[in-house]
Amino acid sequence: MKNSAPAPSALAMVPFVSVENMMRIVNTLGPANVIEKMADYIEADFLRWDQFDKTPRVAAHSREGVIELMPTSDGETYGFKYVNGHPANMARGFQTVTAFGVLARVDNGYPILLSEMTVLTALRTAATSAVAAKHLAPADSRTMAMIGNGAQCEFQALAFQRVIGIDTVRLYDIDPQATRKAARNLAATGLKIIQCGSPEEAVSGAGIITTCTADKQYATILTDNMVGSGVHINAIGGDCPGKTELHRDILLRSDIFVEFPPQTRIEGEIQQLDADHPVTELWQVIANRAEGRKSDRQITLFDSVGFATEDFSALRFIHDQLETTGHFVELDMLADPDDPRDLFGMVKRADVEGLKLTAS
């Protein structure tokens, strides 16, 4: 039977960015351009830090991994991300991380965007790393060591090339196939790619060291003797309780910068330290309320676990691209009766107009 019901009103329609739409947006604008522009949004939102509701992510931990909700609001717009982290997934043919997110109006609660965030999280993680390095890394850094060459690797390399100006990436992974994959994907970027046989070889001569591994365990990807003075460490792999990458002695030698201390003390590298160990919030450095890099011999450590405001910024950026790119579809997600009190009447009218499902 032909659908004769009236079309849903504009208020009931929500823009939806699918994986295909997201890939079209990224390729239309260019991955490096997306990361650079998203970094601007992230930095701008760090500068209005006090406007945001902030809470550690709501996490459901299991032996296999974690499922998390990451909510925040700036008073006008509310956003959240659903994300999982399951390190064993790759061996079973699944992604380690998958995600989706929502933006909504605070004044009436209506969603204004539903988006995939598996790709978007990779982009925003790289953009956040670049924002931190912009304020913390040695100004003359041109070489980055990338230890862990999985799904995040290429995004990080592009972010540091575009925002920081690195020209060389030294790659290492315990799986040589991952390193070869990353080298292939980065071959046309203009970066000099060096495939290394050990983490010690990878960090040799690097002013920036990025660690991004997936195992849910207290691991030691970097030992104390591998880290010389003056480097910036971008530690993004440790992001849940019981999962770290750096030897504790490195932390004790470093000036540590974090997104939101109540969350990072649970999930970051600093879970290895006493609860009162001093850290500096990244937003304070960006806003010139705290010092970042002070000397050529200083070791700066960005203990990044990902925070809800960064996802908010990423969703805000994507929402702003919809009109110009057109890469989205509209979903009929919200019931919109003519009389807001008569939801039941709307359902019954749908029955009368022939929308009721009947047995064949």
pLDDT reported for residue 216 = 56
The H or E element containing residue 347 is helix 343-352
For 304-349, how does the pLDDT look when each residue is reduced to its tens digit (9 = 90+)? 999 999 999 999 999 999 999 999 999 998 888 889 899 988 888 8
* Residues 36-56: tens digit of each pLDDT: 999 999 999 999 999 999 999
In terms of pLDDT, which residue wins out, 88 or 210?
210
Secondary structure E strands in the chain: 13-17, 58-61, 66-73, 77-85, 99-105, 111-116, 143-147, 168-172, 192-195, 208-211, 218-222, 232-235, 244-246, 255-258, 280-281, 300-303, 329-332
Mean pLDDT lowest among 121-125, 242-246, 273-277:
242-246
Q: pLDDT value at position 239?
A: 66
pLDDT beyond 50 at 360:
no
Whether the Cβ atoms of residue 173 and residue 147 lie closer than 8 Å to each other: yes
Q: Residue 2: which pLDDT band, with cuts at 50, 70 and 90?
A: very low
Higher pLDDT: 342 or 82? It is: 82
Cα 133 to Cα 13: distance, rounded to the nearest angstrom: 40
pLDDT above 60 for 71: yes
pLDDT digits (tens, 9 = 90+) for 103-139: 999 999 999 999 999 999 999 999 999 999 999 999 9
SS3 (DSSP) at 315: helix
Please tell me the predicted confidence (pLDDT) of residue 348: 83
pLDDT at 232 over 90: yes
- Mean residue pLDDT of the chain comes to 91
**Among 290, 231, 222, 221, CA closest to 258:** 290
Which strands make up the sheet holding 66-73, listed edge to edge?
58-61, 66-73, 77-85, 99-105, 111-116, 13-17, 329-332
Give the separation between CA 33 and CA 30, rounded to whole angstroms. Answer: 5
φ/ψ (deg, to 5) at 17 = -105, 105
End-to-end CA gap in the chain: 12
Of 171, 134, 168, residue with least CA distance to 149: 171
pLDDT of residue 359: 43
130-182, pLDDT tens digit by residue?
999 999 999 999 999 999 999 999 999 999 999 999 999 999 999 999 999 99
Residue 179, pLDDT score: 97
Residue 1: which pLDDT band, with cuts at 50, 70 and 90? Answer: very low
Q: How many CB atoms are located within 10 Å of the residue 47 CB?
A: 13
206 and 233 in contact (C-beta within 8 Å)? no
What's the mean pLDDT in 297-305? Answer: 96
State the pairing for strand pair 218-222/280-281. unpaired
For the question of whether the overall pTM of this predicted structure is more than 0.95, the answer is no
DSSP calls for 89-124: GGGGTS-S--EEEEEEETTT--EEEEEE-HHHHHHH
**In the block, residue with structure tokens 């913390």:** 136
Cα 146 to Cα 138: distance, rounded to the nearest angstrom: 17
pLDDT value of position 5: 41
The pLDDT value recorded for residue 77 is 98
Catalytic positions are 239
Q: Which residue has the tokens 């100004």?
A: 139
Taking residues 82-109, report their average pLDDT: 91
Of 137-151, 241-255, 280-294, the one with minimum mean pLDDT is 241-255
- Among 69, 71, 68, 41, residue whose Cα is nearest residue 54: 71
Q: Which domains does the chain have, with CATH numbers?
A: 10-119+310-352 (3.30.1780.10), 130-306 (3.40.50.720)
Residue 3 pLDDT: 36
Q: CA 79, CA 250: separation in Å to the nearest integer?
A: 35
Q: Do 193 and 158 touch, CB atoms closer than 8 A? A: no
Q: What is the mean pLDDT of residues 248-273?
A: 95
